[in-house]
Homo-oligomer: A and B are copies of this chain.
Amino acid sequence: MSEVAGRMAIQAGAHSLEMEQGGCGMLLGGVTGVAPARVVVVGGGVSGVNAARMAIGLEAEVTVIDRNLERLAEIEQQFGAAVTTIFSTRAAVEDYVLDADLVIGAVLVPGGAAPKLITEEMVRGMKRGSVIVDISIDQGGCAETSRPTTHAAPTYILHEVVHYCVANMPGAVARTSTFALNNATLPFILALADKGPGRALADDPHLLAGLNVHRGRITHRAVAEALSVPAQDPRLAIGG
C-alpha cells in the first residue's frame, strides 16, 4: 500500500497544482524553455521512493530528504543524476520546503505517530499556490497544518498552500490497490487457513510482527506507545 500511496501522491500533487484546485498553475515537468516544478520528498522509505520515482518520470526537479545515509545512497544509486539526496536536518528541511512547489510528506513510522517535521511556520513561508501532499496523514501527518480529508473533498487551502491529506489514499485507485493487497496478503491467508492462527503466527515471524491485539491486550510495541499503554510480547501472547 505504501507503494500505491507514494505513486498516487504525485498524481494528486500534480492535480492540486492546477488553477481550479487553487494551485499556482504549474506543470510538474515544465515544458521546453520553462522551468519544472521543485518537488521535495520528505522521507525516503517505500512511499517516498515511489513518489520520487513518479515525479522524476514527470520530469520535475526532485529532492529526497532523509536522515538515513544508507537509504539515501540506495536512492542515489537507483535514480542517479535525476534526484538530489539531502541529509535531513531541521535547517535542510526548512530550506528545501520553503523553496518547493510541491512537498510530499512521506515520514512513516510503523505503528507510531508521524513526527511533525514540517512546522506551521514553514508552511506560512511557502510560496502562494504551492502544494503539500501528506501521505503520513493516516498516522497524524508530518506537517503541523495537516488534517485528514476525503476523496470527495480532498484538499483545503491554509496559509495559501493547498493541502491534500486524504486518509486512505490508495482507495482512489481501488482496482490496483485490491490486486496489490491480495498479492501481499495471499500467502498469509493461505497459512492462516491451512494451519490455523496459532500455528501460523508461531511459524512466521513476519505474520507475528503484524499482530496488533491478542485477547484484548496490545502486542505491537509502537501501537502501545502511541496509546500510552503497556505492550505484551507477541511471542509470549500466542504461547499463552
Contact = CB atoms under 8 A, between A and B. Distances in A.
Interface string A18-30: 1110001111111
Contacts of A184: 69
Interface in A155-187: 171-177, 179-180, 182-184, 186-187
A89 B26 CA distance: 20
Interface residues of A, number: 65
A85 B25 contact: no
A76 interface: yes
A73 to B, nearest CB: 4
A223 interface: no
A11 B8 contact: no
Contacts of A35: 84, 86
Interface stretch (A56-64, A131-139, A193-201): A56-64
Interface of A: 3-4, 7-8, 11, 14-15, 17-20, 24-36, 50, 53-54, 56-61, 67, 69, 72-73, 76-78, 80-82, 84-87, 89, 129, 151-152, 171-177, 179-180, 182-184, 186-187
